[in-house]
Each structure stands twice: as C-alpha cells, then as structure tokens.
Chains A and B, each alone.
Chain A
C-alpha cells in the first residue's frame, strides 16, 4: 500500500502571499490531520478532517484553513503568509478519526515552507 504523500515537498513564498499544500492519505483512510513543526514550538496540531468534515481544530489563526474532498485527499491553505509561518507541515492519515480513538496516525514526508 502506498504511504501518505504530500505535495509539493518544498516551497518558497514571500510575505503576504498565500499557499496551498496537498495531502493524499493512505488508501481507505478517512481521516487526515495536519501539523506544523518548527524548531521553537515543536509539533503543533492544526486541524483534522474526517469524512469531509472538520472534526477538530488547533489554536491557529483563521489564516490557516483546510478542506477534505470526497476521495479523502486534503488541502490546507495559508493566506497572507508571515515569516513565522516558515515550517515543516506534516499531514497524517488514519482509518478512524485521529481524535480520541487512539488510532495510529501515519505521517507523510512533509512540505517544507520557507517564507521570505
């Protein structure tokens, strides 16, 4: 079975621009969660989508948004980019919801975003 894939792997943007990142989960998985990883803050939960519905949301500003399609693929969007948005963005998929079920989440390789 193919693993979680994320595109693009690397991205350079300038302040004020917007960016869209894509995540394709493992076949059959219905949950996709997004995380931001930075050296200072570590791994922080952004949001989870399960069967096209946002199930949970972390403590991030409204500039961060996401969606999930009927084939379970997910996108996250960051508008009005700031320098502090530079990070590795990881998505993870699981067959059941990633919230409260103890279900194992399988991670993609991440998208490294650099904001100049």
Chain B
C-alpha cells in the first residue's frame, strides 16, 4: 500500500538560506509523486510532479525535487528562501489503482 511520510511538521529557515523539505514514500510499485503548496485560506497548488521521465524534477517558483529510488525519497529543495515561500507544503503519492495519498504536511517559516 502507498504511504507518504514527511519528516518535520515545521521547518524554519532564514531568508536566502537553502530550503530542504523531506518526503519518503513506501510503495510496492513505481509511484507518481507530487509536491503541493498551500497558502493560508487557499487550496493546494501544484509545485512539481515526478512521473519517471527524469529523476530531477524542476517546478515553479525555483523549487526542485529529486527522486531517489534507493532511498525511497523525494525531497523538495530551493537554493534561496524568500519570504513569500512561507506556506504549508504537502508531498503526495499515487501508485497502482489507488487515490492520491498525502503526507501530513510541513509548515515552512521564513525568517527575515
């Protein structure tokens, strides 16, 4: 069965610092993996998506994620944090004939 685990419910970084949000998945079949962002009082916006075409996936707003099968990971990174990046980030996965499964989310705070 598909499951997604996000390490760290809250991450705090300084403006301009590296952003690293961790996501691990468990799946018996190759998964589709997604990162979504949610700003307060809004729905989820897709940042990027892995579909096996390339292990390094570039998304919007300077974010990227690398699929590492050996580590069952799909961590999200951004070289330099901006104040506008403060939001909640969700990793999600889907495999086989299952619906999308979400991690618990990581709230990113950016300190000036």
Closest to A44 in B: B102
What is the size category of the interface that chain B forms with chain A? 20 to 34
Chain A contact residues (Cβ within 8 angstroms of B): what range? Answer: 20 to 34
**Is residue B8 contacting chain A, with contact meaning CB distance below 8 A?**
no
Are A99 and B98 CB-contacts (below 8 A) given A43-B90, A104-B34? yes
A102:B51 contact, CB within 8 angstroms: yes
Residue among A35, A100, A102, A104 with most chain B CB within 10 A: A102
Cβ-defined contact, A4 with B43, below 8 A: yes
Q: Are B102 and A43 in touch, CB under 8 angstroms?
A: yes
Contact A108 B43 (CB under 8 A): yes
- Assuming the contacts A90-B44, A107-B44, A108-B43, asked whether A100 and B98 have C-beta atoms less than 8 A apart, the reply is yes
Within 8 A of B (CB), among A66-90: 90
Cα of A110 to Cα of B42 in the assembled complex, Å: 7
Contact pick for B99, options A48, A107, A109, CB 8 Å: A48
User: For residue A110, which residues in chain B have a CB less than 8 angstroms away from its CB?
Assistant: 42-43
Max chain A Cβ within 10 angstroms of own Cβ: one of B36, B90, B96, B100: B100
Q: Complex Cα distance A107/B38, Å? A: 10
Q: Measured between alpha carbons, how far is A58 from B36 in the docked complex, in Å?
A: 21
* Residues of B near any A CB (own CB < 8 A): 32, 34, 36, 41-46, 49, 51, 90, 92, 94-105
Q: Residues of A with Cβ closer than 8 Å to B?
A: 4, 33, 35, 42-43, 45, 48, 56, 58, 90, 92, 98-100, 102, 104-110
